[in-house]
Structure 1
Amino acid sequence: MKKVLVSVFAIIALAACNNDDNNIQNIDYSKLPQELPFSKLTTLNGVDIINGGFGSGATAHPTQKGEFYAITDRGPNVAYQNGIKILVPNFTPTIMHFKINAEGNIEVIKYIKLKNPSGQPITGLPNPVGMGSTGEIAYAADGSILGTDNYGLDSESIVAAPDGTFWVSDEYGPHIVHYNADGVELERISPIGVNTGTRKLPAVFGKRRPNRGMEGMCMTPDGKMLVGTMQSMMYVPTKALATNTTLTRIVTFDLATGQTKQYLYKQDGGASDSVCDITPISNTEFLVIERDGNFGSLGGLKKVYRINLSGASDVSGADLTAVDGLKINNKALEQCTWDEITTAGYKAVTKTLAVDLVAKIGYEHDKFEGIVYLGNNKLAVFNDDDFGVADDGNGNPKTKILPKTGKQDKGTMYIVDIQ
């Protein structure tokens, strides 16, 4: 495959997600930030759709210093009626494998397209009923209704495992999907009641909101556990009755046993804000993103918090098949106030501010979605550029423009210090 070179910064080493100070080498901050490699995907109604989108999630290579992976979501889209327009219906969610070469440039090693168990490329189309759907409708650019894909994925996070395979979570399902090194599906883990496989997440996760699934996921440094973050409050028991807009859930999945645990996370914002990617510091301490949908240069919320699962309560309950999960006084957790939850003896994860990107570096992107902890209190930061398009308000694409610079938004990598 042709290698793409982009000048970026002096050598850094992105190794396995741990706090080894040797993961950072001679970073030249004067050259940051830099755009990730991209090309033009297509032009639609005079709008250039870039072959970008890499930044919905990111992860370090588990053994090779200076290498990392970034992943797209389901593809370029805009809101339309009661669903979305998929602007390139045959787009396949894709992993990009990068390295920082000896000259300090980003070098694309390869693209890995995600595939179904038969080895055929998947799409970003929604799943059918019973396979992870919550009623999403996909339209083509001309407004006609598109079909579904049993193996479709709105991928949002990625983990590179030491054995060369990948774990990916998404906003459908929510699914946690295991892919081999070539991107072929090996296993799909979904909530109880979703017909995709034998190993399961608790049934309550089937009540995720449309486009608000498992936005972040990482693996603990010991390689034993996946840790997933839901993007925001779920509709438990129903959209009308879920009232605690700052409550979201974290789920852990033991890779050996399939056992799960659930923890509560208290957002600063509300139901319209997002808890995005998560990256580990240790087996119990993590960094998570909180963001809103505004551009940072227009006062948007773009923060990273340190959280710790130690001391937090497992709120799984005794019956993992219960679609409303654990209840307090016959109310689902999303119906309870934080005072009610505390009074019942349950503790959320602890959190402290690690960095405010707007205050720290004047971060101007809206979709701050990928982070990788590099050790030595250094953090790699990625944004989802939405393939360079935005919604014009009438269900059509327009060029996504950064208000501060007036340029088309493109996926960009930053390195920041954290507290």
Structure 2
Amino acid sequence: MDAPHAASSGHQGTAMALAPLAHVLWTRVLRYDAADPDWPDRDRFVLSAGHASILQYSMLHLTGHGLELDDLKAFRQWGSRTPGHPEVGHTRGIEVTTGPLGQGFANAVGMAMAERWLAARFGAELFDHHTFVIAGDGDLAEGLSHEAASLAGHQGLDKLVVVYDDNHVSIDGPTELSLSDDAATRFRGYGWNVDEIGEVAEDLDALEAALLRAKANTGAPTIIILRSHIGFPSPSLTDSPKAHGLAFDEDTIREAKEVMGLPDEAFHVPDDVLTYYRSAGERGRSEREEWEKRLAAFDGERACLDCCLDAEGLPGWEKALPSFGLDEAMATRQASGKVLQALIETVPGLVGGGADLTGNTGTAIADAGVMSADEPAGRQIFFGVREHGMAAIMNGMALHGGLLPVGGTFLVFSDYARGAVRLSALSGAKVIYSFTHDSVGVGEDGPTH
């Protein structure tokens, strides 16, 4: 509450309601080492409901990721390390850039695909982690969530865990104004494991039990449907749309702190609380050190592993590039397809596919295996007619590390993917787009294509 109040803007309502969930995640469930937030085998956490960024920033401060109280006091200010929505590369401990709803959800699907690919390629002793997501009503209302959830279920991504914050409130008012979906039925239709845990948003043990059940589940991704109350425990704004995006005034903050037994003091963190969380932030250090020993002893294809983690090619990869004469008549999509095929052996983390247009866009890869639950290390990806999902999932793959994804579709259909393409640029995600059929020279399909 204090940070949005200081900024005169922000979204504290969701952060307040989900503070117990965040506590359980960071102190009991997530596998991480705050001293080394880039450890490749850490669990990933994605706040798809990026407007609740103050929740994630608070946890990063408490667990010792390098954010200080002064950073929280500079929330949403120009040049601060705590921008209004999480930005990867800008704030230590942030995995992906979120804010446009649905993007983080789809990024997480890509992260889970990357983890499974690396485990299949280099062994579970080096890659064995989960991806956890907090998503809200807005995330699931976006069409992107359908594209990503459908593919995740088809792929059987059982190390993907989504907590759906079902708080029944939108900016315009109750979600009943525009939403009457049955989320449980919807996700069962995708082939997900669905865990409806109901009104337990303040029950730490129940939250932990649900998360551990999800981790133990095999064969399908899990969505945990949690009924929360935005703005809780504010006496005046619990379950109110005003709790979403209006910074609480001093009286409202004082009332809520009184309910929680907190002093009327801004940015107050008791020493014993900070000590407890800092200890939690160090909990994964021994696991990370043991992992580093396993990495040092790895007797597999170490050069390939290093190239994957760096999204680079093996030494001399450029020599594999084909050359084309100026007098050769060849469509650019055919030339790029030949380049992709030539690099598949020398760029170990290169994977590719298209939105049901692999052959048309030069993103078909011969003899590389099809990525699936049965062949998780396959390098050909069939995204289906899901342009937006393809782009956002590729962002997740790239930002997870280990894969260099290529995705293709007709240039005109890049409009469908534009939200994720924009975030590719904002995130610095190392992805490759093959947008083809960009000329009147291939205009037989007419102006729609």
Q: TM-score, normalised to structure 2's length?
A: 0.23
Kindly indicate which of the two structures has a greater share of residues assigned to helix.
Answer: 2
Kindly indicate which of the two structures has a greater share of residues assigned to strand.
Answer: 1
Higher radius of gyration, 1 or 2: 2
Q: TM-score, normalised to structure 1's length?
A: 0.24
